[in-house]
Structures are given as C-alpha cells and as structure tokens.
Structure 1
Amino acid sequence: MTALVLRPLVFLISLLCALASTASTSVPWPNAEALRNDSAYLQRYLFRQPSTPLREDAGKRLEHLRQQWQQGLQAAYAHDTASQAAQIDNALARLEQAVQTWDPGLAAQARAELWCGLLDGALRNSMRQLDQGAFESAAAWLHIREYARTSRDTAASLAIREALAGRLSAAQARQIIEPELLGIYASEMRMALAQARSHLAAGHRVQLAGSLARAQGLQRLLSDNLSSRLGSEKAQLIATRFTQLHAERPADALAKQLAELEGQLSSYAPAQLAAAELERRIQLFSRFLRLIPLEYSKGVRDGEVTIPFEYFEAGLFRDRAEMLLGDLGYNLAERAPAALQRMTDILSELQHQIASKGAVPRVQALSDEGLALLAQVYGQELLQSDHGAALTLLPEVLSELANAVNSGDWAAADLKRLEAYALFDPDIEQRLMPRAPALALKMEAAFWEGNANDPGLGALIARQAPEEELNAALARLQADSKQAASILSSQLSAMGAFVQSLAILLREGLEAVIVLACMIGAVKASGIPAAGLRGWRWPILAGTGSAVAGSFALWLAVGQLFAMTTLQRELLEGLTALTAAAVLLYVTHWIFRKAYVTDWVAEIRRKASHAGQSQQGSRSPYLGWTTLFSLAFLVVFREGFETVLFYQALLIDAPSLPVLAGLIGGALLSAVAAYVVLGLEAKLPVTLFFRVTGVLLAMLCLMMTGSGVRGLQTAALVPATPVHWFPDAPWLQLYFGLYPVAETLLAQGLLAALLVLSLALLLYRQPAGGTPGQSQAA
C-alpha cells in the first residue's frame, strides 16, 4: 500500500523536477540577471578595505555566482554557443582571482567580460531559435539583452509579440529584431570607448578597465557584422586594435589607440537606419553640436575652468555627438563622403580645443560649421530639434547614472544626476508645469531630496545609499518621465490651451497684482497723494514698468532664458523671491503700525496742514520712493520672467488664439482682484482695511520666503531635509510656497515669529487713551 502511494508521488516529483529543469534551460534569463546583479555586488565589495568578514561575504557571493551559472544557464549556453560558454567560464575564473587578490580593476574587467559573453550567446541563440520557428524559445533568449537607453517599447519587443501571435514570419521578425539589437550593441561599444577616454583623462583606473573590457566584448559580439559592413580586412584591423587595448599602457599611447579606433569606426553602422530613427539621430546630433559651445562658454574663461560642471558637460556633449556620428556615418558616407570626413575632423578638433581649454570663439566656429554641414546634407528643417529630445535623452542619462553607482563612482553619479536635471529644467519642466504642475513638482523633488517616504537622487547619492534604494528612486523617476512624455506628446485642444493659459496668468500674475493693490490701497488710505514727486504713482508705475521691461530683456539677453544654466536660473529666482520678501516684510510692518498705532484723524489733519513741510522733512511719515519702486519691481520681475517662460513653452504645441484668449481672461480676472482689494479701501474702515491688507501681505511674504529658500535649495546652495510631519501636497507648494522640507519651513516659521513679535511690540507701544477706531468714531 505504501509503495502504491510512494511510486506515483516519486514519479510526480521527478516530473516536476524535469519540467523545472527544462524551464530553466529554455528560459535562462533569471539566472543571467542574477549573474549580472551579483557580479555588481561583488565588484562593489572590492572597493572597500579588505577584512575577514568582508572576504567571507565575497566568497559566498562568488559561490552563489557559480551556482547561478551552473544551474541551467551553463548547459543552455554550452549546447549551442560553446565559445561564449568558455568566455563566461574564463570571466568567472578571473572574478575569483580578483577576489583572492582583492583587485577591483580586475573585477571590473571580469564583470564586463561576463556580461558581454552572456549577451553574445543570447543573441546567437535567439537568432537560431527564431530561424527554426521556435518563437517562444527565441522570446525567452531575447530577455538577455541590452535595451536602447532611449526606448520604452522597442520594435524588437513588438516584433516578437507579433511572431508569437502568428502575424509575422520568422524571416520578417528577424529583419526587425537583429538590426535593432546590433544597433544597440554598436552604440554601446562606442559609448564604452568614449567612457574609457573619459576615465583615462580622469585617472579612474578601475572604471577604465571595465570600459575597455566592455568595448572589447561588444566588438567580439559584432565581429561578423563588422566584417560584412566594413570588409574582412578592415574588420580584422579593428579587432587587432581592440586586443591591444590595456589599462596598464601609458596614458598617451592608450589615448591615441582609442582615438584611432573611434576614427576607424566612424562610418560603421550595423544596418541602414529607418527613416524615423535617422531623423531622431540627426536632431539629437544637432542638439549636441549646439550645446557644446554653449556649455563650454559658461565653463571656461581665458583658458581657465570657471564652472567645472559646465566644462564637463561640454566634453560630454562632444562625446555624445561622436557616438551619434557613428550611427549616422553609413548614411553620411553614402550621401556625402566629404561631409563625413570633415565632420569627423570637426569633432576631433573640438576634443582638442576642450582638452586644451582653447578659445571660445573657435569652439563656436567649429560647432557652426558642423551644423552648416548637417543642414547642407539633410536640410535645415530636420535640424530643428524640439523639446522631445530632452525626454529622449533623460532615460539614457538615468541609465548611465545607475551604471556609475554600480561601479562605485559616486562623483560621476552625482554629475549624471545634475546632467539629468539640466535636461529636466527647463526643457521638460517648463512645458510640463502648465499642463501637469503636480507631476513637474514631483519630478523636480526626485532629482534632489525627494520626500520623507521616497528620498530623491540627491539625498541618496550624498549618503551613498544601497543599490536597492537607488534603483527604486530611478524606477520612480523613469515612470514619471514616461508619464511626462505621454502628457507632452498629446496635442492640446483649444479648450485645454485656453484653460492652461488662464491658469498661468492667474498663478503667476495674481500674486503681483494683490501685492500692488494692497500697497496702493494702503498709501491712498494713509492720505499720501498720488501725484507729485513725493506721491505713490510714479514709483509704483516706474517699478512695474521696469520689471516688465527687465523680464523681456533678460529673456532676450540670455537666449530666451534657456541659455542660462539650471542652477543659475534657480539662484536668480530664489534671490529675487527672498529680496522681495525682505522688502515686503518692511511694508507689512509699516501697515501693521498704521493699523494698530496711528490715530488716523490726527494724522490726516496734520498732513493737510503741513503738506509743504512734510515734503521737505527728513523723516517721511509714509513709505519712501525707493521702497515703493523696489517692491513693485521685485514682485513683478519675479513673476514676469517665469510667466514669459511658461507662455513660450505653452506656445510650442498649443494653438495661439486660445492661448491669447486665456492670457486676456487671466489679465481681466487679475484686474478684478485688484479692483476688489482697492475697493476694500473705500468700503472698510481705514483701520480694518489696514489689518486685512497687513494679514494678506504677511501671507504673501511667507510664501515668497518659502519659494526663495526652495530656489536656493535647487541651486545647491542650501541643504534640504524632508520631514514626515508636513503634508506633501502640490497645491500647498504651488500657491502657498509650503514644502515638506525642514529648511523652508524653519525659515517661514522664523519669519512668522518675527511678524508676530513686530505686531506685539506695536500693540505694546500703542498710545494710551484709546484706539485708532475710537479716534475715528469721535
């Protein structure tokens, strides 16, 4: 009886084990991903000082790596791609040697070889299974791949789905999948070479070893395609050059080899680009050519680096342009071989000029010449890169940030964070703010401190957080980027354009209108005349007019504000807001003094009887010309250039007439608000009017303080510490300047205490014998 029960059970267990083994063999990608992640962990171990516990942990991790390789994955590779299986075995042996000698450079090299071997074998197996019509197996192998850094849903993924559904043949699917994968690996090979040059210049030997090994592994993967596209003789020469790359070689010799390799690969493209991909690469290439002199001029002056980040970006954009030229090289070689050669020379000279900190005009001239060549070959219209290029690049930069973290290079990771933020602001943020302000605020915080529950990239990199936390933050930001792309890619309706235009002017203009209306009502109620040199009309009109003119002048002077660096723009906004808050604090104190201390009847009678004397007195009983002018200027200027920027972004893809209608509607509503505030001065008792306007201006002062400190935080001048106890609500941030950040709340709390103390002192000093209200009633 027992045997009758046990035999079927044993058979069932054996069958399940066999099925599990088959599944593991046919779907090896979980093991491959585990190998990739565990080797990254192991590499990070070797960046730390060796200790007995750490060596034991590294040994356990290495043993786990071997188990992942041997359990299902090794057999799958050895069956069809024996040479790649041997390459992976060798990489694991070198990784073991790196642990024994505690050599992080060797670990970086072995890890790159390991992953390239996995990619190579997976590509060959997926193509073989595809040719045999085994679409499910091919789909499983396709999980082991590199994805285009700028892709969300690739053509290869769609093709394999269509093949599984029976709507594409094996040959049709291969025609789509293989060129895409080879194109990705060719781009990654160029990127690895560019990164190797960067690491060589910076003296990062560990990262250099990893980049060189990755470039060599990808060259082996592409060897057959290189032969078919460039000819066997040139492909063999390139292969020989790659085998001669060693991190231990003298820096000058290695730099020369890298430059020669990049030149030999300049016309290599694995396949002819589709029209849409060709257009996208041309737009990105032109964008980078424009950015090179822009960033270089900010980062270098008189042969000296003035802003290291801008100087770094100029070199980075040149490298990206060179990588894109590799993608365009085959097409350019067919259309205009001379243009390809000249473009190669331009990028080479740009590299020399940036490295030697050459003259800015020369860098600008080279960029202009490259753009002219592109326009000559492809037409001027195709070069007009829109703001969608920033959304295309953002996922790529975030992926590079993750790679920098994986290699333990926290300084490079922070530079990548700033580069990603420079893409977000202004290119994405300014277009997103009118449409989805809550999402724009969420994404901005994600680049910096985030919130108490979800820390941002800035906070995580500063404390060198574990990989899981950083990956989670990157995943959130990638998802938000995808949502932003979806929002910005949709065409605005006429009603949507009208509503968003109306909201911009109300949000940005209402604050300035209320401040000016309160101030005008206050000076009128205090008996100050409108006309004359000592009147209030001229300073307020002059301040407002100067602010409007200044907003447009700044817009034009700095290339429509987009030419300013991100941090410079944030600094300008923050300082302007804080200066306006300081002047507004003085005005609020003056209004409280009028509301709680002044005897209005006596004050007005005294002004009427001594008008001539008061104009010549040294102590004016009312706000001075400079105060009125500066407050009008600062408040309007702060809102003015933001408003111009938002409308410029909105008009990119919105119909102009509804935008104009929304602007007019917003202006009318703002005028109504001003009329209501000014009407209070005529309807309410003078003392009550001053108290109402004083409270209103105090609230605006607190809001400006919050926005100002926030600007300094995003300019990286003031730290930002998220708090749990304050709500993270976009409407509080947009309309009241209340952020769930300790420093902004502390500044606003101190200001509120100062306002309360000022009011308390005024009440304490109130003259004996009654209140202003009593005097008026009399």
Structure 2
Amino acid sequence: MSRSLLRSVLVCAGGALLLGVLIWQAVRVGGAPDPTARGISPMTAMMDTAVLVYREGLECILVLSAIVAGLVRTKRTYWRPIASGAGLAIGATLITWFVLVGILNLISGTTSELNIQAATGLLAIVVLLIIMNWFFHKIYWTGWISLHNRRKKELINTMESSRADSARSLAYRGLILLGFTSVYREGFEVDLFLQNIRLQVGSTRVVLAAAIALVLVAVTGYFTFVAHQRLPYKKMLVFTGIMLGAVLEIMVGEQVNEMQLAGWLPVHTFPLHIPDWMGIWFSLFNNWETVIAQVLAAVLVIGSFYAARRDTRKPRAASPAVSAY
C-alpha cells in the first residue's frame, strides 16, 4: 500500500470517526454531554468526556490556524518550530495532569471527596475568571491572535535578515515559544476541568476519553489546514476570520456564564427556552448578561474590521494627490 493511499484511508477513517461521534452525541444526549450524570454507562461517560475535551481542543486548532495562515503557501520552513512548540505544549499538558493528580491525591487523605470536587470546580472557575480579566484587557480575543501574528512576523524577519547564528537561534526559539503558548493555555484549563470529572468517573475513563479527543482534534486540524491550502489566499483569510469570530462569541458567552456561576455577575433571565446543546456548543443561555456581552463582542469585531478597512483605504486615496503634487 502506497503512503498516499494509506494517508487517504486514515484521513477517511478519522473523518468518519469524527462525524460518527458528533452524530452519536447529538442523538444520544441531544448535543449536551454530561459525563457526571447518573444512570449512564461507563462508555457513555467516556464519550461525553471526549466530546467536552474535543470542544476545548477546537479553540487550539483555530489559534494555530490563524497564526500559520500567512505561512500556508510561503515560508513553510517556519512551520517546524511552531509545530514543535505545540508538541511541547501537549507534553507539558500531560505533565501538568500528573502533577495535579498527585496534589489531589495528597490532599484526599485529609478531606472528603466532596470537598475536593468543590475545590477543583472552584479552581476551574477562578482560572476562567483570570482568563476573562485578561480577555477584557485585550479588548477582544482576536487581539491575542494579532499579538501572536505580530510576534511571528518579527521573529521571521529576524531569522531572514540576520546573519548572526545567535540572533537566528533566538528567533527560532521564539517561534517555538509562540506555538507553545498558543496550545498550553487551553491545555492547562482542560486539565483543571478534567480533575473534577476524574473524581466522579475515574482516571481510566478520563485518560481514554482524552486520547479519543486528541484523535478527533488531530482530524479536525488536518481538515482545517487542508482548507487553508486549497482555498484562494483571500478566501482562506476570510474563512479563518469567520471561524475566529464564531469562537469569540462562544468564548464570551462561556466566560460570562462562568462569572455568573461564581457570583460575580447577576442573572436576569428572559422567557425564551434555549436547548442545553446550544449552551454546551455555542454558549447561548437565556439571560440578558450573556446575550448583551456576545452582542458587544460582535460589534467590536465588526467595528474593528471596518475600521481596519477604512485605514487601508486612506493611503490609497491620498497617493494620487501626492503624485500630482
């Protein structure tokens, strides 16, 4: 069997697995997986956990795809350090998992399991609140992407213009760090969430679920980067922008909901039923706080798009006058 045929078979199998899992959870639990629900089978709990981890992994895929969007057709040699950094982040996430498990095992001898579950759940909320504070300081989530992209351009320019080995080595390490930070932030957050689930469904199921989720994330990442290569460059950028806008809306709704659970924000509901699966996948909830926050986020993104478009048109409009002068 040739290598290309083997790759095609694996990609088709991965795509079928991804589609099957999504259809299964949509039919089985209505798109709202809950691995801690009572009366479900061990397999269902494991698959529900895998879907939740996959849901978080999608954000990593979009961050990486946005960072390497400009390298899709050119400068492919710079993919390696970014990919290496992402791989190191996955390894660091695994190490963090075992560190957290060890810490919780030490604490378990002095307190009850319910107290540990409450503490880990609260810790996850605190981390989300910290991220939310950082989020607001960055104005909107795509600012994080822009920051990474600016840093990426600076590092690549350093590698191309500098003849000194030390400068090129420093820029290379910077690209590795770029890929690392893009993935580890989400990985650390997932580790915290999974500790609470692990105490209720067991370590074995959570580890197997995380392995399944990594396969699904890898398949999604493959199709995402293939789309980047096949689409015309302008359409590829539009495609990435749309995905980032969707993730922004989800992230805002998710963080506001977590702040409400922590008691930082009030909850004012409105008389409209929103299915649970929309809350899980799109962070849509029937309260005014999340809706207003998501609308404001959309206004910021759309407004920034038109502001950038206006700024790019100003030099073009001024250039004829300068030449005429």
TM-score interval, normalised by the smaller of the two chains: 0.5 to 0.7
**TM-score, length-scaled by structure 1:** 0.30
Alpha-carbon distance in structure 2 between the residues aligned to 1:439 and 1:543 = 27
Residues 713 and 720 in structure 1, CA contact (< 8 A), matched pair in contact too = yes
Aligned residues: 267
- Partner residue of 2:185? 634
CA 698–611 in structure 1, closer or farther in 2 if over 3 Å, else same: farther
Structure 1 vs Structure 2: percent identity of aligned residues? 17
Equivalent residue in structure 2 for 1:746, among 282, 289, 292: 292
Q: Deviations over 1:490-523 (max 9, x none)?
A: 36265x35543443433343333x2344145325
- Partner residue of 2:19? none
Alpha-carbon distance in structure 2 between the residues aligned to 1:760 and 1:547 = 38
Q: Deviations over 1:476-495 (max 9, x none)?
A: xxxxxxxx9xx62x36265x
Q: Deviations over 1:133-185 (max 9, x none)?
A: xxxxxxxxxxxxxxxxxxxxxxxxxxxxxxxxxxxxxxxxxxxxxxxxxxxxx
The alignment partner of 2:266 has SS state of coil
Q: Does 1:611 align with 2:161?
A: yes
Alpha-carbon distance in structure 2 between the residues aligned to 1:609 and 1:562 = 48
Residues 33 and 52 in structure 2, CA contact (< 8 A), matched pair in contact too = no
Where does 1:117-196 land on structure 2 (aligned, <5 Å)? none
Equivalent residue in structure 2 for 1:764, among 298, 310, 319: 310
Q: Deviations over 1:579-608 (max 9, x none)?
A: 468484214456999xxxxxxxxx9xx959
- Partner residue of 1:152? none
Alpha-carbon distance in structure 1 between the residues aligned to 2:305 and 2:132 = 23
Alpha-carbon distance in structure 2 between the residues aligned to 1:557 and 1:639 = 17
Equivalent residue in structure 2 for 1:681, among 192, 207, 228: 228
Where in structure 1 are there 5+ consecutive unaligned residues? 1-433, 441-483, 594-602, 771-778
- Partner residue of 1:492? 41
| C-alpha displacement of 1:572 | 2.2
Q: Does 1:570 align with 2:125?
A: yes
CA 719–556 in structure 1, closer or farther in 2 if over 3 Å, else same: farther
CA 576–542 in structure 1, closer or farther in 2 if over 3 Å, else same: farther
Q: Deviations over 1:24-54 (max 9, x none)?
A: xxxxxxxxxxxxxxxxxxxxxxxxxxxxxxx
| C-alpha displacement of 1:678 | 1.3
Q: Does 1:737 align with 2:283?
A: yes
Alpha-carbon distance in structure 1 between the residues aligned to 2:59 and 2:79 = 25
| C-alpha displacement of 1:676 | 0.6
- Partner residue of 2:62? 515
Q: Deviations over 1:38-90 (max 9, x none)?
A: xxxxxxxxxxxxxxxxxxxxxxxxxxxxxxxxxxxxxxxxxxxxxxxxxxxxx
Residues 132 and 255 in structure 2, CA contact (< 8 A), matched pair in contact too = yes
- Partner residue of 2:200? 649
Alpha-carbon distance in structure 2 between the residues aligned to 1:627 and 1:591 = 7
Equivalent residue in structure 2 for 1:585, among 111, 131, 142: 142
| C-alpha displacement of 1:524 | 2.7
Where in structure 2 are there 5+ consecutive unaligned residues? 1-27, 109-115, 318-325
| C-alpha displacement of 1:762 | 1.5
**TM-score, length-scaled by structure 2:** 0.64
Residues 67 and 148 in structure 2, CA contact (< 8 A), matched pair in contact too = no
CA 565–670 in structure 1, closer or farther in 2 if over 3 Å, else same: closer
CA 727–686 in structure 1, closer or farther in 2 if over 3 Å, else same: farther
Please identify which structure carries the higher helix content. 2
| C-alpha displacement of 1:734 | 0.6
Q: Does 1:530 align with 2:78?
A: yes
- Partner residue of 2:111? none
Q: Deviations over 1:223-274 (max 9, x none)?
A: xxxxxxxxxxxxxxxxxxxxxxxxxxxxxxxxxxxxxxxxxxxxxxxxxxxx
Where does 1:136-535 land on structure 2 (aligned, <5 Å)? 488=38, 490=39, 492=41, 494=43, 496-497=44-45, 499-512=47-60, 514-519=61-66, 521-522=68-69, 524-525=71-72, 527=75, 529-530=77-78, 535=81
Equivalent residue in structure 1 for 2:246, among 699, 705, 724: 699
Q: Which has the higher contact order (CA 8 A, sep 6+)?
A: 2
Residues 120 and 192 in structure 2, CA contact (< 8 A), matched pair in contact too = no
Alpha-carbon distance in structure 1 between the residues aligned to 2:208 and 2:117 = 26
Residues 506 and 667 in structure 1, CA contact (< 8 A), matched pair in contact too = yes
CA 543–501 in structure 1, closer or farther in 2 if over 3 Å, else same: closer
The alignment partner of 1:678 has SS state of helix
Q: Which protein shows a greater Rg?
A: 1
Q: Deviations over 1:389-438 (max 9, x none)?
A: xxxxxxxxxxxxxxxxxxxxxxxxxxxxxxxxxxxxxxxxxxxxx97985
CA 659–556 in structure 1, closer or farther in 2 if over 3 Å, else same: closer
Alpha-carbon distance in structure 2 between the residues aligned to 1:563 and 1:552 = 20
AA at the equivalent of 1:586: G
| C-alpha displacement of 1:723 | 2.6
Where does 1:550-565 land on structure 2 (aligned, <5 Å)? 550-558=96-104, 559=107, 562=117, 564=119
Residues 259 and 265 in structure 2, CA contact (< 8 A), matched pair in contact too = yes
AA at the equivalent of 2:312: Q
| C-alpha displacement of 1:546 | 3.4
CA 769–527 in structure 1, closer or farther in 2 if over 3 Å, else same: farther
Alpha-carbon distance in structure 2 between the residues aligned to 1:435 and 1:644 = 22
CA 662–435 in structure 1, closer or farther in 2 if over 3 Å, else same: same
Residues 33 and 51 in structure 2, CA contact (< 8 A), matched pair in contact too = no
Residues 592 and 759 in structure 1, CA contact (< 8 A), matched pair in contact too = no
The alignment partner of 1:530 has SS state of helix
Residues 86 and 179 in structure 2, CA contact (< 8 A), matched pair in contact too = yes
CA 748–528 in structure 1, closer or farther in 2 if over 3 Å, else same: farther
Q: Does 1:670 align with 2:217?
A: yes
- Partner residue of 2:258? 711
Alpha-carbon distance in structure 2 between the residues aligned to 1:439 and 1:682 = 33
Residues 528 and 536 in structure 1, CA contact (< 8 A), matched pair in contact too = no
| C-alpha displacement of 1:662 | 5.0
Q: Deviations over 1:550-599 (max 9, x none)?
A: 34433443548626275444222333356468484214456999xxxxxx
| C-alpha displacement of 1:682 | 1.7
| C-alpha displacement of 1:715 | 1.2
CA 511–647 in structure 1, closer or farther in 2 if over 3 Å, else same: farther
